[in-house]
Chain A
């Protein structure tokens, strides 16, 4: 409600400022807008920007950082009573204070908490008033100066365009910010984790059972946790499922691409391509559902019938379905790669009397090999990072095995299981998910960077 009110005020102010600027510009030149350097609308926008941008920036800063100010103030007011609490209790108190701030009934709170809420309210009331005054003053002062600056030769258009450019540049910075955010948050939480668990024990340990993690501090905790956070079985499981997926997807995807680009009639192409696109557009949760409720039981029952024991969460089922999921990915990438091999090579080979398949196998595929390899690398990265299929169809327990009929677990499954539900942000279990996430991010990033590089080089070669 308050949010909508704020938006309404903002829009109204913006319109008002625009109108003021516009009419001011027209009156300065005695009504003949054609002699203005910039059209009147730009003058309106000029006043609007000068009036609103500083005010909005101040307001956003307040929204983002007021929390720290409030916490600092309340903490200072509570003094020793607060300082004597354990960190966890301090946090709980602050959380309660915030959630009870706009409730009337405080009877369920402890005395200290009630005091905190009262300090909070007092501070917020004053501070909010102050901020409102500052913001209003900024609007008035900013637009006043802007209106004063309006004259015939004012380059309002340039000013407005520069502002828009700044906005455009900021927008393209968001992508960078996202990456920085990912890297920082993963690294930050992982460092916390590696204070609880030895880094090498994590990377090379062979026993993974986070549910028996020891929540405590000190050397003992590190030792005990180092025994249960050995991620090798998780990595091994990921590799097993990824390998199965690639074994399925690579030949099928590649052959599809070859068939579609060199053999299929336009009619076949026109139906097969959309089908592959549909396959690519189906959400992974649907694949997961199919893997867990149709494919896995089918494998288990078949196994039962012929006397082989197959786990109901077999790596085979998850890997197979994941393989099918990435077929369109492999085939469209390979299609690009194969099509960028110049026609002259095909003609050359055909001119020597080679059949089509000989041309493809002996000339085109070798020429396209770097591209195909990087396509496969992208596919592998996709498979490693795929989550829902394995969460639904693969197991939870970390077995070290290469038998595809047994259940294994993967990095993404572990991240999901460790993080879904309530988490304490300083528990080793939660942090372990971030360490796994960091490994996942690094590996996929490496694969992607190399693959994109190779593909780019490859394209340049034939351009």
Chain B
């Protein structure tokens, strides 16, 4: 079975949406970069063990929303967030929340593969190490191996774990970053255009991977490509100029959008 066909099949047999447990939710989220407002009053639920994709034209605030979910926005001095974002009934912007712990629970994969300039092993082991997740070296080895396996990279790198991660190809690097993210055993995995820097074959491998990962993680993926959204996600949210225009089951958004703007975007009139 070709990868393409597999993808299509997955989308077709997607389970019923809007069921299951709400893992994360944003309520009335506004984001400001200094004076400039980048997100306006966004409400969005993210369900456990589903893939939700965020789509929309460049600069509409997809990444901004995504980065709110694990407070990566904290690193930008001028960025202010209002409204609340819940993770399992807990407001993640609450004073008592430890961002470090939050980010361990809500992991992130970035647009451009960004492996540490260290060995492949060290890249994957870094998260478990700083979080003290394993007791022995064997446990750590085991965790590294299983993470690489789940990221579909094991076969390719098992003989060169001590070589630098930066020496891998683009697609491999991105899978290494995914392995690194899942090694920390997060509950939610955020992916910001994970395939935009990759060629079609690498993209297909990663898309397949995302579908497998859904069993264990809740995944939020930002993508530029509507095909990709259609292939990998059960739900889709469409952003435009900082507003959440429409969200719903992926097939509904793509076949029968309610909002005019969504339709325009899907048919290529805005973008």
Query: How far, in angstroms, from A39 to B100 measured CA to CA in the complex?
Result: 13
CB distance from A29 to the nearest CB of B (A): 11
CB distance from A154 to the nearest CB of B (A): 13
Question: B98 on the interface (CB 8 Å rule)?
Answer: yes
Query: How far, in angstroms, from A36 to B130 measured CA to CA in the complex?
Result: 12
> In the complex, what residues of B have CB within 8 A of residue A33's CB?
132, 135
From A36, which residue of chain B is reached at the shortest CB distance?
Answer: B132
Could you mark each residue 26-67 of chain A with 1 if its beta carbon is under 8 Å from any beta carbon of chain B, else 0? 000000111010111000000000000000000000000000
Contact indicator B98/A34 (Cβ below 8 Å): no
Question: B263 on the interface (CB 8 Å rule)?
Answer: no
From B132, which residue of chain A is reached at the shortest CB distance?
Answer: A39
Question: B196 on the interface (CB 8 Å rule)?
Answer: no
Question: A23 on the interface (CB 8 Å rule)?
Answer: no
Query: How far, in angstroms, from A34 to B134 measured CA to CA in the complex?
Result: 6
Contact indicator B135/A32 (Cβ below 8 Å): yes
CB distance from B101 to the nearest CB of A (A): 8
Question: A300 on the interface (CB 8 Å rule)?
Answer: no
Task: State which residues 71-101 of B face A: CB under 8 Å.
Answer: 98, 100
CB distance from A170 to the nearest CB of B (A): 22
Question: B168 on the interface (CB 8 Å rule)?
Answer: no
CB distance from B97 to the nearest CB of A (A): 12
Query: How far, in angstroms, from A91 to B121 measured CA to CA in the complex?
Result: 67
Question: B133 on the interface (CB 8 Å rule)?
Answer: yes
CB distance from B234 to the nearest CB of A (A): 33
From A31, which residue of chain B is reached at the shortest CB distance?
Answer: B135
From A161, which residue of chain B is reached at the shortest CB distance?
Answer: B100
CB distance from B134 to the nearest CB of A (A): 7
> In the complex, what residues of B have CB within 8 A of residue A155's CB?
98
Query: How far, in angstroms, from A285 to B164 measured CA to CA in the complex?
Result: 48
Could you mark each residue 345-359 of chain A with 1 if its beta carbon is under 8 Å from any beta carbon of chain B, else 0? 000000000000000
Could you mark each residue 122-143 of chain B with 1 if its beta carbon is under 8 Å from any beta carbon of chain A, else 0? 0000000011111100000000
Query: How far, in angstroms, from A137 to B162 measured CA to CA in the complex?
Result: 49
Task: State which residues 151-172 of A face B: CB under 8 Å.
Answer: 155, 157-158
CB distance from A161 to the nearest CB of B (A): 9
Query: How far, in angstroms, from A155 to B132 measured CA to CA in the complex?
Result: 14
Among candidates B98, B130, B132, B134, residue contacting A158 with C-beta atoms closer than 8 Å: B98
From B100, which residue of chain A is reached at the shortest CB distance?
Answer: A157
Query: How far, in angstroms, from A159 to B100 measured CA to CA in the complex?
Result: 14
From A39, which residue of chain B is reached at the shortest CB distance?
Answer: B132
CB distance from B56 to the nearest CB of A (A): 31
From B101, which residue of chain A is reached at the shortest CB distance?
Answer: A37
Query: How far, in angstroms, from A36 to B131 measured CA to CA in the complex?
Result: 9
> In the complex, what residues of A have CB within 8 A of residue B132's CB?
33-34, 36, 38-40
> In the complex, what residues of A have CB within 8 A of residue B98's CB?
155, 158
Task: State which residues 85-121 of B face A: CB under 8 Å.
Answer: 98, 100
CB distance from B98 to the nearest CB of A (A): 7
> In the complex, what residues of A have CB within 8 A of residue B135's CB?
32-34
Query: How far, in angstroms, from A32 to B130 measured CA to CA in the complex?
Result: 16
Task: State which residues 1-43 of A face B: CB under 8 Å.
Answer: 32-34, 36, 38-40
> In the complex, what residues of B have CB within 8 A of residue A158's CB?
98
From A157, which residue of chain B is reached at the shortest CB distance?
Answer: B100
Residue among B98, B130, B131, B132 having the largest count of chain A Cβ atoms under 10 Å: B132
Query: How far, in angstroms, from A85 to B127 measured CA to CA in the complex?
Result: 71
Query: How far, in angstroms, from A39 to B133 measured CA to CA in the complex?
Result: 9
CB distance from A418 to the nearest CB of B (A): 49
CB distance from A171 to the nearest CB of B (A): 21
CB distance from B212 to the nearest CB of A (A): 26
Could you mark each residue 117-160 of chain A with 1 if its beta carbon is under 8 Å from any beta carbon of chain B, else 0? 00000000000000000000000000000000000000101100
> In the complex, what residues of A have CB within 8 A of residue B100's CB?
157
CB distance from B174 to the nearest CB of A (A): 29
> In the complex, what residues of B have CB within 8 A of residue A34's CB?
132-135
Closest 10 CB pairs of A and B: A39-B132, A34-B133, A34-B132, A33-B132, A34-B135, A33-B135, A36-B132, A34-B134, A32-B135, A158-B98
A-B contacts, 15 of them at CB < 8 A, read A32-B135, A33-B132, A33-B135, A34-B132, A34-B133, A34-B134, A34-B135, A36-B132, A38-B132, A39-B130, A39-B132, A40-B132, A155-B98, A157-B100, A158-B98
Q: A33-B132, A34-B134, A40-B132 are in contact. List 11 more A-B contacts (CB 8 A).
A: A32-B135, A33-B135, A34-B132, A34-B133, A34-B135, A36-B132, A38-B132, A39-B131, A39-B132, A157-B100, A158-B98
A: which residues have CB within 8 A of B?
Answer: 32-34, 36, 38-40, 155, 157-158
